[in-house]
Structure 1
Amino acid sequence: MNLIKSALLGARNCLCASSRQQRLAQLASTGEVPCSVAFYHRVADTVANGWTMSTQQFREHIDYFQSRMTIVDLAEVQWRVREGHSVDQSMSITFDDGYADNMDYAIPLLIERDIPCTYFVTTQNVINGKPFPHDRDAGQPLQPNTVAQIREMSDAGIEIGCHTRRHIDFSNVHSIEHVRSEIIEAKDELEQMIGRPVHYFAFPFGLPAQLTQAAIEIVHEAGFAGFCSAFGAYNHIGNDWFHIRRFHGDPEFERLVNWCTYDTAKARTEPRVQYFLPPAKSFEQTQAMMPSMPVPHITTFGSFHA
């Protein structure tokens, strides 16, 4: 984002600040403040790929969230959406893929500050130690997390989520056996890795094209409590709680502020994702499978040992 565009967006944020605050106050009065979920990939100051942000930028984001929003976990987001009770601005933080560099700064910072986070892992890259295909193809073979690091994060209180076995694009997969392997086998591998249940799934790429009916059905069949997209949207109260909508934790700070102050234009242009699930599991039945995750709640963590 160039300086001119950043300045224009900053000016727009300032001009809209009062009207947005009034709108949020109206939504708060009826318990309908939308929930925000941001996703990140890699936080590091070296060898940047297209999804890397610096440690300083990440710290600025966390400072902003803590000063203006309530930071919650994904279970709390789902509870607010379903129960129709959200009286303040909330933020849930997630990571995708599983980059080793996140252990150097981002994860210790979150645990030091007792901030909830869901860390979505592509299992085969972690197990085999091979770089992600998109980085290898770009000539930047960055190191994924190790199994030991994922276990250490889980033991320290970071929620580990599933991001398939091989970071596949479901829009290009036409074999139901392949879909099942990338979802169900990935969940099994991850649960064996950390010795705990895995409750959430995030679609690689996360655009409407990847959110196929077959894949969502198998996510549901596998017993996940919900799935995450990544096309940029809010979680509106009373909406579909099984589908958790996320936006990019943009390194351009003004774009992040624009999202966090609730841009109604973005809300109006959100893509529609339609799918159908068998009525096998109600929200209460899903929660009964997760006795360690009562709702509503805000998670706090213990000490982290790097």
Structure 2
Amino acid sequence: MIKSILKKTFLFFRGDILLKKTNKTPRVIFWHGVDNNPDPLIEAESIDKKAFIKQLNYLEKNYSIIGIDDFHLRYKNNKFIGDEILLTFDDGYRNNLTVLAPILKERNIPYTVFISTKNISEGKLFPTSILRLVIYGSSITNVSIPFLNINLSINKSDDEKKKTYAIINEFIKESSLKDVEIICSQLINNIPENEWDMLVNKYNSVKPLTWDEIREIQKTGCTIGSHCIDHICCHDNQNKEEVKNQIVESKKTIEKELQIDCNYFAFPNGDYTDYAKECVRDAGYKMGFSTKRVRFNYQDNEQLAIPRFSMPFNFDTFKITLNLYPKN
């Protein structure tokens, strides 16, 4: 309550504009999905359409929205003015086409969607989407993951479910691809097949795009970049050859399916190592993107992990975060 009052007071006196003036720098920001009345727990990756439009109105009024090719050119030539902003969306959710694209197309706003190619090709849900459906959406009162020696009750309260979610989510973020696949499979096994199908259809903002849908979204001013094959976190717990394969082969798949040059890459969860950055460079990407709230510099390796930061859904928090970051 106190924080909310302080934020509103700060914004009443246009503190957000003061932050922008004292923090004049180009920004790269990201969301995941945009949908109509998404469930705040189960569909937490998607911002509500009305809230997004409110944010977009603010961005158009206060910043210069540019496309990713223009961003790269200005970076390469060190020609930023300081009020540029690049809009990006991670994973490749179907609502990027059905809800987001019409909004941005109508306003002629360029944007980039980073996709995980296996999720697109096979319709696979993303690991955290699976986790949220199981923990928050299903009727089960106990979740079992033998691989992690986890057997936890989730029938008492939302707080209990949130704690269970946090425990399993940490394993998903820190594990290798092989282990994540086992965890996801065992998560789904907690639920009867008919209930699982019902959940996926009910909370459909978790569904990824198809290749045909991506070809449609390209027509709306959207640039497609890579987000690995399997949305793996490119940290030290991954096999190096797997990291290389994910970065290289996803680029090849996008180029084959869409008949374009895939020039941009975003690290899932923002995780990367020096080796992963080398893979991005060697694969032939012009730029890679991370998820840090810091200013970028013009060192050669920096363009392989350009900092981005995510946008909060709350409008007051959005205005403060947007203008406060990135920091040195």
TM-score band by shorter chain is: 0.7 to 0.9
CA contact (8 A) 2:120 2:208 kept: yes
Distance 1:137 1:110, change over 3 A: same
Q: State the secondary structure of the residue aligned to 2:265.
A: strand
Aligned residue among 30, 38, 42 for 2:29: 38
- The one-letter code matched in structure 2 to 1:11 is T
Could you tell me which of 193, 209, 212 is aligned with 1:145?
209
Measure how far apart 1:81 and its partner are.
Answer: 3.7
Paired position in structure 2 for 1:299: none
Q: CA deviation at 1:128?
A: 0.2
Which AA in structure 2 matches 1:189?
T
For the pair shown, the structure with the greater C-alpha radius of gyration is 2
Mapped pair 1:200 → 2:194: no
- Cα distance in 1, alignment partners of residues 281 and 17 from structure 2: 41
Could you tell me how far apart the structure 1 residues matched to 2:267 and 2:38 are? 27
* Distance in 1 between residues matched to 2:322 and 2:132, nearest whole Å: 31
Cα separation, 2, equivalents of 1:199 and 1:77: 12
- TM alignment of 1:159-238, pairs within 5 A: 159-206=223-270, 210-235=271-296
- 1:79 is the counterpart of 2:73: yes
Question: Who is 1:66 aligned against?
Answer: 60
Q: CA deviation at 1:4?
A: 3.7
Q: How many residues are treated as equivalent by the alignment?
A: 253
Partner of 2:218: 154
Q: 1:191 to 1:9 in 2, by over 3 A?
A: same
Match of 1:108 among 89, 102, 109: 102
Question: Would the aligned equivalents of 1:81 and 1:235 in 2 still touch at CA under 8 Å?
Answer: no
2-structure distance, mates of 1:89, 1:9: 23
Q: Aligned partners of 1:34 and 1:166: how far apart in 2?
A: 33
Structure 2 Cα separation of the partners of residues 221 and 238 of structure 1: 17
Displacement of 1:262 in angstroms is 4.0
> 1:92 touches 1:117 (CA, 8 Å); kept in 2?
yes
CA–CA distance in structure 1, aligned partners of residues 18 and 234 of structure 2 = 40
- Out of 92, 97, 100, the position equivalent to 2:91 is 97
> Relative to structure 1, is the Cα distance of residues 222 and 63 closer, same or farther in structure 2, using a 3 angstrom cutoff?
same
Give aligned-pair identity as a percent.
26
Q: Indicate conservation of the 8 Å contact 1:35/1:77, yes or no.
A: no
What is the aligned partner in structure 2 of residue 8 from structure 1? 6
Structure 2: distance between partners of 1:93 and 1:19: 22
Q: Is the 8 A contact 1:35 1:236 kept in 2?
A: no
Amino acid at match of 1:184: V
Q: Is the 8 A contact 2:215 2:258 kept in 1?
A: yes
The 1:238/1:172 distance shift into structure 2, 3 A limit, reads closer
Q: 1:195 to 1:22 in 2, by over 3 A?
A: closer
CA RMSD of aligned residues (A): 2.3
- Does residue 243 (structure 1) correspond to residue 323 (structure 2)? The answer is no
**Superposed displacement of residue 102, structure 1:** 2.1
149-158 or 217-226, larger mean C-alpha shift: 149-158
TM-score, length-normalised on structure 1? 0.75
Q: CA deviation at 1:162?
A: 0.2
Q: Which amino acid aligns with 1:204?
A: P
Inter-partner Cα distance in structure 1 for 2:9 and 2:221: 39
The 1:93–1:15 alpha-carbon spacing in structure 2 relative to 1, beyond 3 Å, is closer
Shift of 1:232: 2.5
The answer to which of 157-166 and 236-245 deviates more is 236-245
CA distance in 2, matches of 1:118, 1:149: 15
The answer to whether the 8 Å contact 2:116/2:229 transfers is yes
Structure 2 Cα separation of the partners of residues 18 and 249 of structure 1: 17
How many Å separate the matches in 2 of 1:23 and 1:101?
Answer: 36
Aligned residue in 2 for 1:272: none
- Is residue 2:22 matched to residue 1:23? yes
Structure 1 143/116 Cα, relative in aligned 2: closer, same or farther at 3 Å? same
Q: Quick check: 2:101–2:220 contact (8 Å CA) kept in 1?
A: no
Q: Deviation of residue 234 (structure 1)?
A: 3.8
Amino acid at match of 1:244: I
Query: Unaligned regions of 5+ residues in structure 2, if any?
Result: 138-199, 201-205
Letter of the structure 2 residue corresponding to residue 68 of structure 1: N
CA–CA separation in structure 1 for the residues paired with 2:50 and 2:208: 22
Q: Structure 2 CA distance, aligned partners of 1:220 and 1:237?
A: 15
Q: Which has the higher helix share?
A: 2
Q: In the TM superposition, what is the alpha-carbon distance from 1:237 to its structure 2 partner?
A: 7.2
